[in-house]
Each structure stands twice: as C-alpha cells, then as structure tokens.
C-alpha cells in the first residue's frame, strides 16, 4: 500500500515492551509510524496509541483532532475509540486498525486499492497527483475495477475532503431529464415541475461532482457541460439567473473516449477539457499477482471463515476475471457459503468458477500450457 493511503499511527507509549510490539505490528500492516510526542499537527484520519501514563490533558486535546486507541487495562476514558489489553495479538490489531480506518467503507476502498503490481503502482501515483492538483480528471477502466472508489479516494485525499462527494450515473438518467438532474429547475419550467429543485451542480457546493459513465451523456448536454466548465457558472432549467460553480469535476467511463470522439459520439472540445489528468484503472487480469493480497485483505476485513491453499490461489490466478475485483469479492462470498471453515484446494476453486457465466476452461488450459512451457 502506498504511503499516502496507509493508516498513520501516533505513539504515546511509555512501556517499552508494549511500544516495541505495537511498532512491530504496525510495520507488518504497512502503517506509517510517528512519534506522537514530537508532532505539532496530526492527520485526522490517523490514530493515537496511548497508555495510562499519558497526561490526561494531552488525551483531551488529542480527542478533538484524532481517534484514540487505548492500550492499557487501567486506562479508562470515554474518549477511547477502542480499549485493548496490552497482550493483544496481531490479528486483533489488524481488525481494530482497519475496522476503524474512515476510508474503508462498506464498498471497500482498500479492497480495490490494495496491490503491488507495476501497473497498479502507476495508477496509485496518478491518484496521488490528482489529490494534490485541483484539475479535472477522467477515470477510464472496465466495469468492476472500482472507478467510483478511485474517484472517492481522490476526493478524500484532496483539500475538498470535508465537502460533499456527489456521484451521478449519466447512463441511468433519461435523456430528457439529464439537464434538470444536473442543473436543477424552477417551478413550472416543464410539465411535472411542481416545485423548484436544486441540481447536482448546485448540491456539490465546493466539493466534488463525479459524473460516472460520461460517455453516455447526450450530445446536447455535452455542449452545456462544456459551457459550465469554461464559464464556471450555470442556470437552472427555466431560470435566467446564473449560479456559480466552485466544485471539482471528476468523470469516469468504461468506454474509450478518444474512440468516441473519432466516431463523432463525443465532443472533441469537451474531451480535451475533461482529460487534463487521465487515470487508467487496470482490469484484474492485468494484475493477477495482486490477487493473493486482495483475497487476504477481504477475508480478514470481513472475518470470513475460509482459507486458500497455495494451489487454490494459483488456480484463481489462471482465471481471466471479466468482472474484475467485484467478481472476485462475489466469489469469496460464495466460497464462504459453500466451504466455510475449511482450506480450499484447486478442485474447490474449479467448482466455484463453474457458477461464473463467463468461465472458460479453455482459457485456463491455455494458461497452464503457457506456464509449463516457461
């Protein structure tokens, strides 16, 4: 996990043995370790690890800035997020840290962003750049790769993180309602407009507006979107009053926008306006070496009662995963239903993959041939 995505831990520990163990645990998890006593500022997404020798006044000051984890039997404070015995295990430590990490939502940002492959590291570097620069971003990748989660991560790591993140699926809105959905409308501006309503551009304020599947946006709306990006203002449907747009725009698509431009299905001027910082989310088949760490993380986070043998993992890495990480997560859930409390072997994986509509035995046999010939 890259540094900018790792949990940051601030130590306020006086017991040497306990401190040594916790630092060892943190290093195994890839956490960033800081000496809390020497810090003037704290990452609000980090954690303070304290014991009962820490001055209570310091604890109260920290509580307004950072989550507190208590590692002492005698430390009793309502400010502690979690209270653990000093003899805690690594497994317990993992559950606490990753269970409390704000960015690990139910959708699982880190389920998607975990990976060590070279193509994945390039994408993470681009996410880091996008979080530091307030420019428009286009995220391209197949369905199931986690484009919206990448957009959320950029937002959460940016200076706009305290402001709203507003997602809109352009492909799910009827063409005649897109303008109203994005810009809002005034009462009586069209049939059914019984009251004035703010649109997504207005609701985002100074946050991030995420336009998913922007390749499906009608050409008529592309012109209006381009105007908003150029002039930083828009009008509700049925109004002649301009409203300023101070938010950030991030868009995504599973299509290749440059190809849509060639086919005259997407405006070239809008493409260049959006494509300031392009981010490509590679499909799972291009980073098969990341499958073991993704599985390990999902199993631990969800506390699944399943394990995979090395041969079973190798079998999973032979599959082409057309549904990407989303499909892998579904398979793990199915594995727990069918094979909970056992170690899965190759034949178990083959049985699980039979339920995948895109499963191809020929593909696996082809990969076995390629591997044996190396």
Return phi, psi of residue 243, to 5°: -120, 130
- Extract the tokens encoding 95: 């559950």
Tens-place pLDDT, residues 184-207: 988 888 877 778 888 899 999 999
Model confidence at 157, pLDDT cuts 50, 70, 90, reads: confident
Tens-place pLDDT, residues 196-255: 888 899 999 999 999 999 999 999 999 999 999 999 999 999 888 999 999 999 999 999
Write the class of the CATH domain 285-373. mainly alpha
Domain spans, the chain: 3-100, 109-281, 285-373
Question: Is it the case that residue 300 has pLDDT exceeding 50?
Answer: yes
- Where does 109-281 sit in CATH, by number? 3.40.50.300
Centre a 10 Å sphere on the Cβ of residue 272 and count the other Cβ atoms it contains: 11
Give 321-350 as a 3 state SS string: CCCHHHHHHHHHHHHHHHHCCCEECHHHHH
Model confidence at 365, pLDDT cuts 50, 70, 90, reads: low
Please choose, from the candidates 18, 274, 269, the residue with its C-alpha nearest in 3D space to the C-alpha of residue 135. Answer: 274
What is the average pLDDT score of the chain? Answer: 83
Question: Is it the case that residue 139 has pLDDT exceeding 90?
Answer: yes
The answer to which of 88-92, 320-324, 358-362 has the lowest mean pLDDT is 358-362
Question: Is it the case that residue 113 has pLDDT exceeding 80?
Answer: no
Q: From CA 325, how far away is CA 310, in angstroms rounded?
A: 20
The reported pLDDT for the residue numbered 303 is: 79
The reported pLDDT for the residue numbered 72 is: 67
pTM for this prediction: 0.70
CB 314 within 8 Å of CB 295: no
Q: Assign domain 3-100 one CATH number from 3.30.980.10, 3.40.50.2300, 3.40.50.720, 3.30.750.24.
A: 3.40.50.2300
Section 166-185 average pLDDT: 89
The reply to whether domains 3-100 and 109-281 share a CATH topology is yes
């Amino acid at each position: 996990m890259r540094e900018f995505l790792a949990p940051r831990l601030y130590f306020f520990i006086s017991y040497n043995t306990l401190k040594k163990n916790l630092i060892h645990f943190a290093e195994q998890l890839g956490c960033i370790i800081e000496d809390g006593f020497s810090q003037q500022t704290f990452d609000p997404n980090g954690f303070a690890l304290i014991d009962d020798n820490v001055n209570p006044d310091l604890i109260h000051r920290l509580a307004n800035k950072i989550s507190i984890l208590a590692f002492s039997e005698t430390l009793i404070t309502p400010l502690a997020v979690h209270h653990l015995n000093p003899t805690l295990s690594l497994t317990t430590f993992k559950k606490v840290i990753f269970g409390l990490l704000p960015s690990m939502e139910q959708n699982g940002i880190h389920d998607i962003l975990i990976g060590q492959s070279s193509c994945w590291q390039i994408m993470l570097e681009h996410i880091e750049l996008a979080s530091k620069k307030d420019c428009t971003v286009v995220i391209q990748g197949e369905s199931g790769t986690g484009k919206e989660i990448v957009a959320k991560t950029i937002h959460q790591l940016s200076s706009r993180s305290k402001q709203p993140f507003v997602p809109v699926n352009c492909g799910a809105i009827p063409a005649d309602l897109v303008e109203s959905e994005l810009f809002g409308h005034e009462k009586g501006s069209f049939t059914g407009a019984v009251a004035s309503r703010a649109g997504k551009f207005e609701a985002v304020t100074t946050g991030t507006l995420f336009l998913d599947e922007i390749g499906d946006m009608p050409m008529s709306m592309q012109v209006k979107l381009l105007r908003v990006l150029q002039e930083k203002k828009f009008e509700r449907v049925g109004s002649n009053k301009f409203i300023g747009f101070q938010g950030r725009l991030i868009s995504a698509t599973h299509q290749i926008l440059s190809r849509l431009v060639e086919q005259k299905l997407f405006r070239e001027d809008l493409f260049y306006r959006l494509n300031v910082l392009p981010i490509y989310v590679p499909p799972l088949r291009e980073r098969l070496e990341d499958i073991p760490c993704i599985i390990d993380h999902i199993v631990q986070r969800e506390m699944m009662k399943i394990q995979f043998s090395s041969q079973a993992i190798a079998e999973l890495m032979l599959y082409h995963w057309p549904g990407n990480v989303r499909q892998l997560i579904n398979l793990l859930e199915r594995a727990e239903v069918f094979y909970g409390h056992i170690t899965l072997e190759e034949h178990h994986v083959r049985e699980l993959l039979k339920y995948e509509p895109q499963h191809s035995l020929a593909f696996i046999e082809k990969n076995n041939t390629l591997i044996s010939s190396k």
